Structure 1
Amino acid sequence: MIARNRQWLSGVGLCAALLLAGCGDEKAPAKDLAADIDEVAATLIEQPLLHSTSIAVVYRGKEFIRHRGDMDAGKPGPPTDATLYEIGSLSKTLAGTLMANAVLEHKVGLDDDIRMYLQGDYPNLQYKGEPLRVRNLLSHTSGLPNMLPERANTVLADFTDHRTPGELNAVYAGYGQADFLRDLHSVQIGRLPGKEYAYSSAGTELVAHILEVVYKRDYETLLRDFLGDSVGMTGARIRLGDAEAARLAIGYHSDNPVPTTPMPQLPWGASGNVKATTSDMLKYLTFQLAGGPVVTESHRALVTFDPEFSIGYFWNIVSSDAVKGVYYAHHGGVPRSQCYIYIVPKYDLGIFVITNQSGDDTARAMEAAIDTLVERIAAREKGAAKT
């Protein structure tokens, strides 16, 4: 739920260079990769405030999962394959995957006026006669606010304040889909859609609504059925039962030593409420690397902002020269968890890293871990290419 706009690139520009530099196409042995992941995980949890992490890696068909540290600060007990994590805005890439499938099935058109899927009149959802289109929601170019209700944006502006989780819970207490659609009437679009990047979780919630309209099923059922049937992710959830809630990772907000509450339920949950195990995310990495029509469509650039940065179906697409290639990435964050996913086709590589702490420096620490891991993969491939 931490807003990541165009500035996301400046934070990962160095990462991109380190991730993709100096790689050959030849396959290299993965026998030492497990030790590399162990070392990276151990280094990561040595960072201030970080004391637990889980990492999933798929590299040239080989799969790795590592859990390190103690979930509950000061008490022995690492995460496990059964631990459910809040993956935050990585949820958006799942919504994008479902929408890519809907487009391929001709259920939705990228250039459809989104008002086709809304009951009632929304004359405000246009700018000088140009309507908001489905592609604008997927590419964060709709001009919609980050969150609805608007009060949530004020709360999130000071994310690390210890009061933020509680205030966010209060904002969303009893706030449902009808409230969201009511507040949507008051939104004003201040610029031409499709041109300017402005991160919008509200846009992702609208994507979920559109999917419900065209499939005539609730979003979570659509999500779980698709992930179970097409990806093998049988454990992913938006809402948890009592037994599942007991497996939800404990988490810490900013520098507060007291565990904080889970992310409150959003109207549809598509923008930041998915929970999944590391094993589920490993399957998602494999699904992404395998390609296929739905993945290919979801990775297609819908808006290109400059030669290095474009947006697909919620995926950040970072491009470089022919040696470095192209990769797809997304950050996820809620008040007590942050994570990253990287899909790097050049290496046939996917990485998912998550921690049960969320603060200003958490993302940078994970980026550094990813840098180190991929640098070692790159060096090994380069060495193999010379022999």
Structure 2
Amino acid sequence: MDPPSLSRRTALSGAVAGVAALTLPSCSTKPSAAPADNGASSDVGAAFAELDAKIEAGMEAYGIPGVAAAVWAGGEEHVKGYGVTNVDHPTPVDGDTIFRIGSTTKTFTGTAMMRLVERGKVDLDAPVRRYLPDFDVADPTVGAVVTVRQLLNHTSGWLGEDVQDFGRGDDAIARYVASMTRLPQLTAPGTVFAYNNAGLVVAGRIVEVVTGSTYEAAMQNLVLDPLQLGSTHYFTDDIIGLNVAAPHAVVDRKPVVETGYWAVPRSINPTGGLTSSARDQLRYARFHLGDGTAPNGSRLLSPQSLQAMRSNPGAGGTLLVELTGMGVTWVLRPSAENVTIVQHGGTWPGQLSGFLVVPERNFAMTVLTNSDGGSKLLPDLFGDDWALRRFAGLGNLPAEPRRLSAVDLAPFTGRYVAEAIDPSGTLEQMIIEFRASDGQLDGTTVTADANGRPDEKSRARMGLAFYRRDYGLNLGPDNKPVHSRSDFVRGPDGAIAWFRSRGRLYRRQ
């Protein structure tokens, strides 16, 4: 299984068994005026029905009360809700129900940044200090040279697991960025991919400074209003009266409402603060599949800028899937057919979502869930290549698990540690111990405080089966591969320096 997140609050990017879920669908399927061939089966309606069945089965298996999904394939739009928003006060989910979308927010920040690039107000390859003269992290040499692009492609190199809460004021993001002097440098800028929430907050601060407004107001003006995303908001005050999906934990195989999961610090809005609906997410996806014009025909971005967002990837690795690298906030994922898959998604306690587009196949898909059980359903749809094969005629890179000798496994065994900073500013650790077992890596994970004292209740098993040099398939409780991948990163001397799981770096000790 995938290692648990460092903290329930640091899970911006989760295993549980399920219980039967009530399915109350609300659906619309609309043909376009000019259907496009996306390389998949011509029977798109049958594919939509298969998707519905997979979602409903996953809801029952994984304890998910409500799901909303939206697909653009074969020139047709499919938007549908399943189940209920809240097991205590059940209201049917539909295509306009509001969910947290977590880290898919990053791509909205990236889209706004590209609008500023087109206006000549930002240069992606300029140092951050051109826009934030006082910017610094723990390594002062990095603060002087790190670029805007490295913020957006997750190669800035400092500790990125920082979700500190700096209040609800308009200065929340500025205060967060000022606090980043405590963030240690893990790798040199531009050299290693490591998922970095803090970097996107810095990008959000640049948006504020360049536009002379709050981040949220700038996003409203640059992206949300022009794309007519009326169900997409940063502030809870803006969704009063709308149909909102409550977050759920899974306890004793049953979903339980956890209202305490809902809040997100304003200071991390640029990296994961948006709420949205499946319908709005599909409209956003179709903008990125298009030529850069808004629904009213006005131009927001040139086709070249849209292409630039999904080009020129930084360093590659894994983020549940194998990735070529990150473009401007987009995960760029290879396929067996050499067609690029453009992807993101988001995780926040009780609210998990997936989002992908394939421009060469004119295909887009988003799925929003209101339970920790979404951590099982989403890999079934986005890590496995079922949806890609069915709708876009694409498959994942082959990955056949191998069994290695104890000698070959020895360089990878040992203890690995990652760190994170929670909303209160407290440092915590995740510790992974790997040992060789029957040709694979068998390990345990545990969370710990800043002094390394473990929380034994958090201890869990994880395993890894290599499929090529330094890359492995994560193993489930039955010791069989699940739909996610991890890898090891070597240092300048060629020795293993890091384990990378869920995009995060764990230092080998």
- What TM-score range do you get, normalising by the shorter chain? 0.7 to 0.9
**Equivalent of residue 201 in structure 1, options 162, 176, 197:** 197
Look up the match of 1:313.
Answer: 328
Does structure 2 conserve the Cα–Cα contact (< 8 Å) formed by 1:127 and 1:189? no
Counterpart-to-counterpart distance in 2, 1:346 and 1:283: 18
Instruction: Map 1:159-308; keep pairs closer than 5 Å.
Output: 176-241=172-237, 244=240, 247-255=243-251, 257-261=256-260, 262-267=262-267, 269-291=269-291, 292-305=303-316
CA offsets 1:191-214 (integer angstroms, 9 cap, x no match): 310011121111111101101111
State the match for 1:168 in structure 2: none
State the AA in 1 paired with 2:264.
P
CA contact (8 A) 2:177 2:201 kept: no
Q: Summarize the alignment of residues 91-170 of structure 1 with structure 2, pairs less than 5 Å apart.
A: 91-120=105-134, 122=136, 124=138, 126-127=140-141, 131-148=145-162
> Does the CA-based 8 Å contact 2:131-2:206 persist in structure 1?
yes
How far apart, CA to CA, are the structure 2 residues paired with 1:83 and 1:110? 35
Q: Distance in 2 between matches of 1:336 and 1:308?
A: 26
CA distance in 1 between counterparts of 2:366 and 2:135 reads: 42
User: How far apart, in 2, do the equivalents of 1:293 and 1:301 lie?
Assistant: 12
Q: Do 1:86 and 1:337's aligned partners in 2 also have CA atoms closer than 8 Å?
A: yes
Aligned partner of residue 286 in structure 2, secondary structure: helix
**Following TM superposition, by how much is the alpha carbon of 1:146 offset from its aligned partner in structure 2, in angstroms?**
2.0
* Post-superposition offset of 1:49: 1.7
- What residue is the counterpart of 2:391 in the other structure? 377
Confirm or deny: 8 A CA contact 2:174 2:205 kept in the other structure. Answer: no
Structure 1 runs of 4+ with >6 Å offset: none
Partner in structure 2 of residue 368 of structure 1: 380
Residues 188-197 or 298-307, more deviating: 298-307
Post-superposition Cα deviations, 1:321-370, rounded to whole Å, max 9, x if no partner, equal 4x2511011120111200000112242110001110125xx334223135
Give, in whole Å, the separation in 2 of the partners of 1:129 and 1:316. 25
| Bigger radius of gyration among the two | 2
Note the C-alpha offset of 1:142. Answer: 0.8
Which SS does the other structure have where 2:87 is aligned?
coil
3-state DSSP class of the match of 2:240? helix
- What's 1:43 paired with? 57
User: In the superposition, relative to structure 1, how do residues 24 and 101 fare at CA in structure 2: closer, same or farther (>3 Å)?
Assistant: closer
Shift of 1:29: 4.3
| Equivalent-residue separation in structure 2 for 1:76 and 1:378 (angstroms) | 35
For residues 388 and 212 of structure 2, the distance between their equivalents in structure 1, rounded to whole angstroms, comes to 43
3-state SS in 2 of match to 1:363:
helix
- Asked whether the 8 Å contact 1:224–1:236 carries over to 2, the reply is no
1:303/1:120 CA distance change after superposition, 3 Å: closer
Match of 1:165 in 2: none
The 1:99–1:254 alpha-carbon spacing in structure 2 relative to 1, beyond 3 Å, is farther
| Deviation for aligned residue 1:24 | 7.7
> Larger strand proportion, structure 1 or 2?
2
Aligned-residue RMSD, C-alpha: 2.9
Bigger helix fraction: 1
Are the structure 2 counterparts of residues 222 and 61 from structure 1 closer, same or farther at C-alpha, using a change threshold of 3 Å? farther
Give the Å deviation of 1:80.
2.1
Larger relative CO (CA 8 A, sep 6+): 1 or 2? Answer: 1
Answering whether residue 82 of structure 2 is matched by residue 68 of structure 1, we say yes
Structure 1 CA distance for aligned equivalents of residues 273 and 88 of structure 2: 28
Q: Distance in 1 between matches of 2:324 and 2:110?
A: 18
Q: Which moved more, 1:247-256 or 1:276-285?
A: 247-256
1:124 Cα shift? 4.6
- Alpha-carbon deviation of 1:108? 1.1
Number of residues paired by the alignment? 339
For residue 64 of structure 1, give the secondary structure of its aligned residue in structure 2.
strand
Q: Which runs of 5+ in 2 are unaligned?
A: 1-9, 14-36, 292-302, 395-509
Distance 1:134 1:121, change over 3 A: closer
For 1:260, the aligned partner's letter is T
Aligned counterpart, 1:385 = none
In the alignment, structure 1 segments of 5+ residues that lack a partner are 5-22, 153-170, 381-387
User: Is the 8 Å Cα contact of residues 263 and 335 (structure 1) preserved in structure 2?
Assistant: no
* Structure 1 residue 103: Cα displacement: 1.9
Q: TM-score, normalised to structure 1's length? A: 0.78
- Quote the offset at 1:3 in angstroms: 5.2
Per-residue CA distance 1:190-243 (angstroms, 9 max, x = gap): 431001112111111110110111121221122122334543323311113265
User: Which segment is superposed worse, 300-309 or 348-357?
Assistant: 300-309
3-state DSSP of counterpart to 1:286:
helix
**3-state SS of the aligned residue for 2:216?**
helix
Deviation at 1:119, TM superposition (A): 4.8
Whether contact under 8 Å (1:126, 1:132) holds in the other structure is: no
